[in-house]
Structure 1
């Protein structure tokens, strides 16, 4: 009998404790983790410089996410839309590079010939295939950093 009473008391305490904790917001399915907004060296729009400017996204879920129709855009409205063949595995990252290149499983390319991310300040937005806002990250550049961790 004593064991049952102790168990009931422990369950009651756990239930009380559980309701007393603040609710945490769920992480977005696709989360912005880094924006490298100021590629090294002079901004001469070489493809290597453009590709050193990028945004990295993380699939926070325990399942693969088909990214067809998902998009990344900056405050100006420059938009990258993922194609049908991009599937991001559970807990995996993908980098969207500004310049040109061959898409793979860990990097895709915007195929632009001009920079996207402003060196002084900007905002990044991720939308799902239905156009719903999923995540965003804004930054104001410091003099020592060329990227922001979101």
Structure 2
């Protein structure tokens, strides 16, 4: 969780009161990480885009539970701008754990899930991954605007 020390906060609050002006950045300095967040998108699998299942599965998104409690992701979705959607079935992401959602086909485990697509989901030259809860509210996003390295840490 992103926080500032109590002393720094008290000093900033005192300065704000004295100056009578809002303190820029205090809110962002105290902003917490999302409980469930996208930590990495590998949008361009290594090598040529052959469409093989191994190539498709080298394209993936990693989602992490940043809390100390298990979280149900049943009904949550991961999607791109073109609306390719992965919906989590009954699934619990353990405290502090990550799950990797691969584009291709495979057998789901606690740590690996699969879109079961026959072609690539993520646009190499620019796209956005949207993580939404079961109510449809966006919980986290991760975007890129150029090919870059083929992956992005979020």
Q: Which SS does the other structure have where 2:26 is aligned?
A: coil
Which of 100, 106, 124 is 1:101 aligned to? 106
Runs of 4+ with >2 A deviation: 13-21
Q: How far does the alpha carbon of each residue in 1:11-44 deviate from its partner, in whole angstroms, 9 at most, with x for none?
A: xx78833746823222112111100011111111
The CA deviation string for residues 21-76 of structure 1, in whole angstroms up to 9 with x for no partner, is: 82322211211110001111111110000000000011111111111000100011
Helix, strand or coil for the counterpart of 2:56?
Answer: helix
Per the normalisation by structure 1, the TM-score is 0.84
In structure 2, the partner of 1:51 is 57
Corresponding position of 2:11: 17
Instruction: Show CA shifts across 1:76-125 (max 9, x none).
Output: 111100001x1101111110000000000111011000100011110010
SS of the residue corresponding to residue 78 of structure 2 reads: strand
Q: Which of 71, 74, 94 does residue 77 from structure 2 map onto?
A: 71
CA contact (8 A) 2:126 2:147 kept: no
How many residue pairs align between the two structures?
136
Among residues 17, 29, 46, which one is paired with 2:35 in the alignment? 29
Q: CA RMSD in A?
A: 1.8
Unaligned runs of 5+ in 2: 1-6, 15-24
Q: Which has the larger radius of gyration?
A: 1
Structure 1 stretches lacking a partner, 5+ long: 1-12
